[in-house]
Amino acid sequence: YGPEGVKYVQISPSQDHIKGKAWWTSYQPVSYKLNSKLGTEAEFKNMIQTCKAQKVGIIVDAVINHTTGADNKDTVGVGGSKYDAAKQSYPDAGYTKEDFHQIAEDINTYRKADVVWTHRLVGLLDLDTSQPHVQQVLGKYFAKLIYMGVAGFRVDAAKHMSPADVKGIKEAAAQASGMKPEDIWWMQETIGFPDQDPKIQPDQYIGTGEVNEFEYSYRLRNYFYGSIENLKHITDKLIPSNKAAIFVTNWDTERDNATRVLTYKDGDRYELANAFMLAYPYGTPNIYSGYKFTQRDVGAPGATDTSVPDATCGKDSQWQCTQRWTSIRGMVGFYNAVQGTKVTQWQDDDDNNIAFSRGNKGFLAINNTDNVQKVSYKTDIPDGEYCNVYVSRTCGKTVVVSGGKVVTTIPAHSAVALHIKAVKSFYDGAAVHKILLIMTGITVILIVIVAVRYKKRSIDPVQLQKQH
């Protein structure tokens, strides 16, 4: 990931949790020990160090609103932590019954913030996150992860804790780690719905950190199945860019909201939407990579009640391996190359062809129709021959910018993505090879000529080559 320009990797929850084959067992913690289905504490540490050495930070998904389902009958977590859901006792976490909200009811309305904060989310025992003891337990957990080198956090179910509680928890984390609260990267899951209580909307949580902007994902789907010319307004009335964490989908929406978001099952549109997200300046983009599934609850390929085998990519793999797609890798490079620029030269055909530049650093054109499209777009990137990083990783496909214009054809549901760090030139592998060959030829001739003229001087051919 490091050499590819990926800056952070968000991982599934790292806490000890209930046993079971389903993927969502990771969302039922039994303590804050770091042995889980996904590995041991030692492996976790090793991952952090390995990634850090390549300048890749780890973001931990912190499940802090609740513990297990109230009706869970087991007594030992995957990592060995003891618990008793009936007694609301989680000794390895340091929780007793007093640490939980004592309303034994599920959330039955989203029109009352208080209910959403204090009732149980799908039957999960709800921590009383207003209590100093709970905040301290959680603060220590965050501090431990920070000391281990973790770069930031995704805060699960933030919407189910009041902004005041979340603030208290973050302050406890700051105190325990010696950091300032504002220096802890805190990405909060706050699914907004306009008809729900205003007090649980994403904008209520931006005081403590970033929030997930789900509306961005919904718009992407609407536009890619409607007209992508609308993308020019995609950020209208959304959370401010510096507070928004965005994605095309995540593990929840690809299962429970597949009619509202794009997923790997949407093929080209999904790929194009990810490219757009990486090309257009808004929020912190997250690329999601999970596994293929037909049933909602089925765990990762090969999962047992207590383990998940390493992911594999390649032919026949059940993993999506989004991070290996040519277009994604190309667009990660694009994202990094165009930082600091704005959108310029927006062009569209009022329907499903769009193009824009990122100042003089990048250019993206998308054809979201079923037909090949001949295009002629203006661009602010300098004239030259560029690699189309959406379709090739080796500069196998190039597009020429001439007279400030891109004149080319774009296949159905494909894109042209050009940026100044991927130019077909002197410096790219194939070209350098050819140029060296030509130069060698010229050099030989020059040496001959020079040798005739300055017979008596010895000229170092290497020097000559350099001057040339």
Q: Is 99 in the site for Ca ion (CB under 5 A)?
A: no
Dihedral over Cα of 67, 143, 12, 249: its sign? positive
Q: What's the min distance (Å) between Cβ of 241 and ligand LM2?
A: 23
Q: Catalytic residue, from 156, 229, 266, 271: name it.
A: 156
Residue 122: which of ligand LM2, Ca ion, none does it interact with, CB under 5 to 8 A by kind? Answer: ligand LM2
What angle (nearest 5°) sits at the alpha carbon of residue 393, between those of residues 427 and 351? 115
Q: What one-character-per-residue DSSP string does 48-69 give?
A: HHHHHHTT-EEEEEE--SEEEE
Number of neighbouring beta carbons within 10 Å of residue 9: 16
Contact (CB, 8 A) for 78 and 37: yes
- Amino acid identity, position 53: A
Residue 274: which of ligand LM2, Ca ion, none does it interact with, CB under 5 to 8 A by kind? Answer: none
Q: Based on CB atoms, which residue is closest to ligand LM2, 123 or 281?
A: 123
C-alpha span between 112 and 120 (Å, rounded): 14
Kindly report the backbone phi and psi dihedral angles of residue 139, in degrees, each rounded to the nearest multiple of 5, phi listed first: -60, -40
Q: What's the min distance (Å) between Cβ of 162 and ligand LM2?
A: 15
Q: Catalytic residue, from 99, 165, 189, 215: name it.
A: 189
C-alpha span between 306 and 311 (Å, rounded): 16
Contact (CB, 8 A) for 368 and 347: no
Residue 271: which of Ca ion, ligand LM2, none does it interact with, CB under 5 to 8 A by kind? Answer: none
Number of neighbouring beta carbons within 10 Å of residue 180: 9
- Amino acid identity, position 355: A
Q: Based on CB atoms, which residue is closest to ligand LM2, 256 or 351?
A: 256
E runs forming strands in 388-461: 398-402, 405-410, 414-419
Contact (CB, 8 A) for 423 and 386: yes
**Is 271 annotated in the active site?**
no
Q: What's the min distance (Å) between Cβ of 399 and ligand LM2?
A: 40
Q: Is 159 in the site for Ca ion (CB under 5 A)?
A: no
Q: How far is CA 105 from the centre of its chain?
A: 34
Q: Based on CB atoms, which residue is closest to ligand LM2, 62 or 321?
A: 62
Segment 38-97, which members bind Ca ion (CB under 5 A)?
A: 65
Residue 123: which of Ca ion, ligand LM2, none does it interact with, CB under 5 to 8 A by kind? Answer: ligand LM2
Q: What's the min distance (Å) between Cβ of 22 and ligand LM2?
A: 7
Q: Is 120 in the site for Ca ion (CB under 5 A)?
A: no
Contact (CB, 8 A) for 88 and 100: yes
**Is 71 annotated in the active site?**
no
Q: Based on CB atoms, which residue is closest to ligand LM2, 118 or 353?
A: 118
Q: What's the min distance (Å) between Cβ of 110 and ligand LM2?
A: 13
Residue nearest to ligand LM2 (CB): 69
- Residue ranges that bind ligand LM2, judged by CB under 6 A: 24, 27-28, 63, 69, 121-124, 156-157, 189, 252
Q: Based on CB atoms, which residue is closest to Ca ion, 65 or 253?
A: 65
Residue 219: which of Ca ion, ligand LM2, none does it interact with, CB under 5 to 8 A by kind? Answer: none
Q: Based on CB atoms, which residue is closest to ligand LM2, 27 or 363?
A: 27
Segment 125-144, which members bind Ca ion (CB under 5 A)?
A: 126
Q: What's the min distance (Å) between Cβ of 115 and Ca ion?
A: 10
Dihedral over Cα of 141, 147, 148, 154: its sign? positive
Task: Return the axis-axis angle of helices 132-147 and 163-177, rounded to nearest 10°.
Answer: 50
Q: Based on CB atoms, which residue is closest to ligand LM2, 67 or 327?
A: 67
- Cross-strand bridge partners of residue 285: 246
C-alpha span between 212 and 209 (Å, rounded): 10
Beta-strand relationship, 244-247 and 210-212: parallel
- Amino acid identity, position 418: L
| Interface pattern 422-461 for Ca ion (x via CB under 5 A) | ----------------------------------------
Q: What's the min distance (Å) between Cβ of 37 and ligand LM2?
A: 12
Catalytic residues: 156, 189
**Site residues (CB under 5 A) for Ca ion?**
65, 126, 160
